[in-house]
Amino acid sequence: MTSSEVLSMYENIAGLTNQMAAAARRGDMGRLGQLEGQCAAEAGAAAHGVPALSGGQRLRKIDLLKQILANDRAIRDLTDPWMNRVPGMAAQ
Protein backbone atom coordinates (compact mmCIF):
# COMPACT_ATOMS: atom_id res chain seq x y z
CA MET A 1 0.00 0.00 0.00
CA THR A 2 1.47 3.35 -1.03
CA SER A 3 1.30 6.49 1.11
CA SER A 4 -1.28 7.94 -1.29
CA GLU A 5 -3.42 4.84 -0.90
CA VAL A 6 -3.13 5.11 2.90
CA LEU A 7 -4.38 8.69 2.86
CA SER A 8 -7.14 7.79 0.42
CA MET A 9 -8.28 4.99 2.73
CA TYR A 10 -8.41 7.32 5.75
CA GLU A 11 -10.21 9.99 3.71
CA ASN A 12 -12.81 7.42 2.66
CA ILE A 13 -13.28 6.27 6.25
CA ALA A 14 -13.61 9.88 7.45
CA GLY A 15 -16.22 10.52 4.76
CA LEU A 16 -18.14 7.37 5.66
CA THR A 17 -18.13 8.19 9.37
CA ASN A 18 -19.35 11.69 8.55
CA GLN A 19 -22.24 10.17 6.59
CA MET A 20 -22.87 7.77 9.48
CA ALA A 21 -23.11 10.67 11.94
CA ALA A 22 -25.57 12.42 9.62
CA ALA A 23 -27.69 9.25 9.37
CA ALA A 24 -27.65 8.92 13.17
CA ARG A 25 -28.78 12.55 13.55
CA ARG A 26 -31.71 11.79 11.20
CA GLY A 27 -32.49 8.61 13.10
CA ASP A 28 -31.96 6.59 9.92
CA MET A 29 -30.63 3.43 11.55
CA GLY A 30 -30.96 1.41 8.33
CA ARG A 31 -28.65 3.77 6.46
CA LEU A 32 -26.34 3.92 9.47
CA GLY A 33 -26.01 0.14 9.42
CA GLN A 34 -25.36 0.10 5.68
CA LEU A 35 -22.62 2.71 6.02
CA GLU A 36 -21.16 0.87 9.00
CA GLY A 37 -20.68 -2.19 6.78
CA GLN A 38 -18.94 -0.11 4.13
CA CYS A 39 -16.73 1.49 6.76
CA ALA A 40 -15.77 -1.90 8.20
CA ALA A 41 -14.85 -3.16 4.75
CA GLU A 42 -12.69 -0.10 4.10
CA ALA A 43 -11.03 -0.34 7.51
CA GLY A 44 -10.22 -3.99 6.89
CA ALA A 45 -7.33 -2.87 4.73
CA ALA A 46 -5.75 -1.17 7.73
CA ALA A 47 -5.67 -4.51 9.56
CA HIS A 48 -3.09 -5.73 7.06
CA GLY A 49 -0.70 -2.95 8.00
CA VAL A 50 -0.02 0.37 6.41
CA PRO A 51 3.30 2.09 5.86
CA ALA A 52 4.37 4.84 8.22
CA LEU A 53 3.87 8.34 6.90
CA SER A 54 6.02 11.39 7.50
CA GLY A 55 5.81 15.13 7.16
CA GLY A 56 2.64 16.60 5.73
CA GLN A 57 1.16 13.20 4.99
CA ARG A 58 1.54 12.20 8.64
CA LEU A 59 -0.16 15.41 9.74
CA ARG A 60 -3.02 14.79 7.28
CA LYS A 61 -3.45 11.25 8.63
CA ILE A 62 -3.59 12.60 12.20
CA ASP A 63 -6.24 15.14 11.15
CA LEU A 64 -8.29 12.41 9.49
CA LEU A 65 -8.03 10.19 12.56
CA LYS A 66 -9.27 13.07 14.72
CA GLN A 67 -12.24 13.51 12.37
CA ILE A 68 -13.01 9.80 12.49
CA LEU A 69 -12.89 9.77 16.29
CA ALA A 70 -15.09 12.88 16.53
CA ASN A 71 -17.62 11.27 14.18
CA ASP A 72 -17.52 8.07 16.22
CA ARG A 73 -18.21 10.04 19.42
CA ALA A 74 -21.14 11.85 17.76
CA ILE A 75 -22.58 8.56 16.52
CA ARG A 76 -22.28 6.98 19.96
CA ASP A 77 -23.83 10.01 21.65
CA LEU A 78 -26.82 9.67 19.32
CA THR A 79 -27.19 5.91 19.24
CA ASP A 80 -26.36 4.84 22.80
CA PRO A 81 -29.67 6.11 24.23
CA TRP A 82 -31.54 4.36 21.41
CA MET A 83 -29.58 1.13 21.94
CA ASN A 84 -30.38 1.20 25.65
CA ARG A 85 -34.12 1.29 24.84
CA VAL A 86 -33.98 -1.71 22.49
CA PRO A 87 -34.40 -4.97 24.42
CA GLY A 88 -31.27 -7.11 24.25
CA MET A 89 -29.11 -4.37 22.71
CA ALA A 90 -27.74 -2.70 25.85
CA ALA A 91 -24.07 -3.29 26.67
CA GLN A 92 -23.15 -4.82 23.31
52: domain range?
Answer: 3-85
pTM, two decimal places: 0.84
pLDDT for 85: 73
Q: Is residue 50 part of a domain?
A: yes
- Residue 20: closest CA among 6, 3, 40, 47: 40
Could you list the pLDDT tens digit for every one of the 92 residues in the chain?
Answer: 888 989 999 999 999 999 999 999 999 999 999 999 999 998 887 777 788 899 999 999 999 999 999 999 999 999 988 777 767 665 55
Q: Is residue 90 part of a domain?
A: no
Q: Is residue 92 part of a domain?
A: no
Q: Is residue 37 part of a domain?
A: yes
CATH number at residue 76: 1.20.58.380
Domain count, the chain: 1
How many angstroms separate the CA atoms of 14 and 23, rounded?
14
